[in-house]
Structure 1
Amino acid sequence: MLLSQKKSGNIPALTGLRFFAALMVFFSHFPIQTENQKLFLLQTSGFNGVTFFFVLSGFIIAYNYLDRFELNPLQSTPRFLLSRFARIYPLYIALIIFSWMNSGGYTPILPYILATQAWSGDLFVATGLNSPSWSISVEIFLYIIFPILIPVFRTLGILTSQNKLIALALIIISSQIAIAIYFSMPERASLLATDPASSHRWLYRGPAYRSLDFALGILAAIYYKRFFKHKTSSTGIWSFVTYSCIVYIFTLATSSTIAGSSFKWDAAYALPYTLLILSIVISSKTQIAKLLSGKKIVMLGEASFAFYLIHVLLGSMYIRQPTESMFFLIAHQALFLGFVISVSVGLHICIEKPCQKIILELFRKKEVPSKISIENQSAAIK
């Protein structure tokens, strides 16, 4: 077995980058009105930040859990699922219940409690009760399949062969492109998001399709942990990749051609986001990596989950005002954004972290008595 050479744990630069991805999604919902078409398109294309989150999820989970799932997936699965549940479910369900109460309690809440809403072909079910929550439904599905994917990759030789890993990555990317082309055909390209057969349903909010993004993130982590060898010369190349990916992503987001195609939902962004994540981890000494690793940015990144979940719910406070003053529009947006950030940090500190700690400690305490009981039984037998 080929052992990983890198340690597990948090990667500050990627945590900081999460905030900017969440910020992109924020501006897609609350764009500053401007006559500059490129700038407006850049904002409204910000939903592609969701692709970043799915790729990042695969990378971070594989970065931290690869070895243990390769050695003993069955034993590792319960603790893994518990840690993921403790991380995202408390705040998710709190906001779901709040949204349900705001709706008068008439919306069937069971699909949202079970986090299965993203599987619905009905847009109003998938995005009901706090619309960003559909992606949490997808995320939970990805958590469930992770313990299966690693043994499959091991069987295929992906964990021990760099060539097989690259081949699988190319197959996934080709599949994403082929599926996007299929949904770009005339009879499908014109379908509205409300249509169950639309590209929005299958390529943007579809859990099965999003597993491809997740798999790319996993493969990037495997490459970094198992096959990448640090060299001074290669660091400079990966630094160039970082900046190139950022420029490329911004170029895609301001392209009217991409914005009018099925590629906008995911296929255009999956590879550059994968390379961006990988390059930032490898070239951790670059200025952009250092910027993203700053304490304040990392704090915002840690609160980005709360930011992502709460920003639409707070949207009723943001009423667009008809004005020709760009200063007023920017000031108005800045105040609202500052408020959303403040609330998200508060939710992260007061709900996310305490609930996560309580859940993990609760199950840890349940495990301790069982171990003591086993020891007592062994002593009695002796």
Structure 2
Amino acid sequence: MTQKNKIIHSLTSLRMLAALGVFVSHLGILSQSSISQFNVAAKYFFNGYIGVTFFYILSGFIINYSFSKHMEEGKFSNKDFIVYRLARLFPVHIISLICVLFIFGYTKNFEAINKESLIYNALLVQSFIPISDYYFSFNPVSWSISCEMFFYLSFCLLVKFKSRYLTSTLLVIVIVNLFFLLNPPVNISSHWLFYINPFFRIGDFIIGVLISRVFLAKKVNIKPAICSAMEIGSLFFLAFTVYVATNYVSYMNIKYDLLYIPCMAMIVIAFAFDGGVISKFLSNRYLILLGEASFSFYMFHWIIISKLMEIMQPNKNDVRDVIFYIVCCLGISIFFSIISFKLIEMPANKIIRNAWAKMNLKLSTRRSL
């Protein structure tokens, strides 16, 4: 039986912090308020979308880290890998899509729905279409798992690449990205090209894979004090990058992703050693649970923010109203994410994996007869 690498708990917990970043970036009420303090907060919270960059780099790292033993022993199966990834993404994706259809009244006027957009969204291919009505359709945040699905399919090929070829692939992506940064096309949305585009965003994923390969190959033992310094330093690097980007960088195309890759990669590297004081704090079982539930949090938070705005109709210029609304959004999102993780994600994942294992067993039995 293939032995797995140990779970890095600090990276699990950090997933929820990244999801919280995306959450606060969707709190449009802050920028719409006449209260100056809320406007200042909104200016910085807007950068929360960079949580997606962290997710993609971390995804590449964890996928390679988790399956490295299988690859070393020649037991990596493309079919098994894709089924396991589908089991991870699709149950929550489909449930969240159904929730959107019912909660926002699409089912009452089904004829008015863009059926093509619905099909693309359900199949997780919407991120390939450079039109916001498609890639932000229904549950807008699902565009990012459309990219994730592309990364997983690509990993089946990338896993065969030696690190130097993988690095060359990354360099090509970066060069093409830089070319378009200097020469933005007029007939394609810059938002799609630099933020949504799976062919550019896979660069984040590849960086994670490369970091994981180096991390596993070197197996360096670092003293706790140095680990702590790396963790604190990486978070300061992130804070510095956000501050500079918010106040001094006006070119949005570079802020969509490229500007934040170094600090996000540094955070993944620093916390991968899982040996510093912050890592110990993040290894708290409640924070780990929140990290495990972060995918459900990510998939449902926009629905909750939007529906509560409709139900509560908070006064945007009243401090107590705004704070109460945000607390309700956060509390319900966290509560629902844990329920979803326990009652949807875990059971569905287990059912799909078991069904796949039984099907494989039947096929192998038939072949042996």
* Global fold match (TM > 0.5): yes
Contact 2:19–2:294 under 8 Å retained in 1: yes
Task: Give CA deviations for 1:161-218 in whole Å, capped at 9, x if unaligned.
Answer: xxxxxxx39x847964873574266x66xx7xxxx62321111101010110000000
Q: Under a length normalisation based on structure 1, what TM-score does the superposition of the two structures give?
A: 0.83
Q: 1:318 to 1:210 in 2, by over 3 A?
A: same
* Distance apart, 1:252 and its partner CA: 2.5
Match of 1:241 in 2: 230
**Partner letter of residue 24 of structure 2?**
F
In structure 1, C-alpha distance between the alignment counterparts of 2:188 and 2:93, rounded to whole Å = 28
The alignment status of 1:208 with 2:184, answered yes or no, reads no
Gaps of 5+ in 1: 1-5, 159-167, 378-382
Q: Deviations over 1:120-140 (max 9, x none)?
A: 011110110110000111000
Residue 323 of structure 2 aligns with which residue? 330
Aligned to 1:23: 20
Q: Which residue of 118, 121, 132 corresponds with 1:112? A: 121
Could you tell me how far apart the structure 2 residues matched to 1:241 and 1:349 are? Answer: 34
Deviation at 1:97, TM superposition (A): 3.2
- Give the distance between the partners of 1:126 and 1:324, measured in 2 at CA: 32
Q: 2:290 — aligned with what?
A: 300
Match of 1:220 in 2: 211
**Structure 2 equivalent of residue 56 of structure 1:** 58
In structure 1, the residue corresponding to 2:124 is in which secondary structure?
coil
1:7–1:63 CA distance, 2 compared to 1 (3 A): same
Deviation per residue, 1:236-257 (Å, 9 max, x gap): 4443232222122223223233
Partners in 1 of 2:238 and 2:172 — Cα distance? Answer: 19
C-alpha contact (below 8 Å) 1:180/1:263 kept by paired residues: no
* 1:1-382 alignment runs, 5 A limit: 8-30=5-27, 32=30, 33=33, 34-36=35-37, 38-69=40-71, 72=74, 76-100=77-101, 102-103=105-106, 104-105=109-110, 106-108=113-115, 109-153=118-162, 156=164, 168=167, 172=170, 176=174, 179-180=177-178, 182-183=180-181, 197-232=188-223, 236-254=225-243, 255-258=246-249, 260-282=251-273, 284-314=274-304, 315-318=306-309, 321-322=314-315, 324-373=317-366, 377=369
Letter in 2 for 1:116: V
Supply the RMSD in Å over aligned alpha carbons: 2.7
- TM-score, length-normalised on structure 2? 0.85
Deviates more, 1:288-297 or 1:30-39: 30-39
Identity of aligned residues (%): 26
Checking the alignment, whether the CA contact within 8 Å between 2:130 and 2:189 is kept in structure 1 is no
Q: 1:261 to 1:371 in 2, by over 3 A?
A: closer
The one-letter code of the counterpart of 1:119 is F
Is 269-278 or 310-319 further displaced after alignment?
310-319
Structure 2 unaligned segments of length 5 or more: list them: none
User: Contact 2:50–2:256 at 8 Å: present in 1 too?
Assistant: yes
The alignment partner of 1:322 has SS state of coil
Using the alignment, how far apart are the partners of 1:218 and 1:278 within structure 2?
12
Q: Kindly tell me: are residues 259 and 95 of structure 1, through their superposed partners in 2, closer, same or farther at Cα, counting changes over 3 Å?
A: farther
Q: In structure 2, the residue corresponding to 1:68 is in which secondary structure?
A: helix
Is this contact kept in 1: 2:181–2:253, CA < 8 A?
A: yes
Query: Contact (CA 8 Å) 1:248, 1:272: kept in 2 or not?
Result: yes
Per the alignment, residue 380 of structure 1 pairs with none
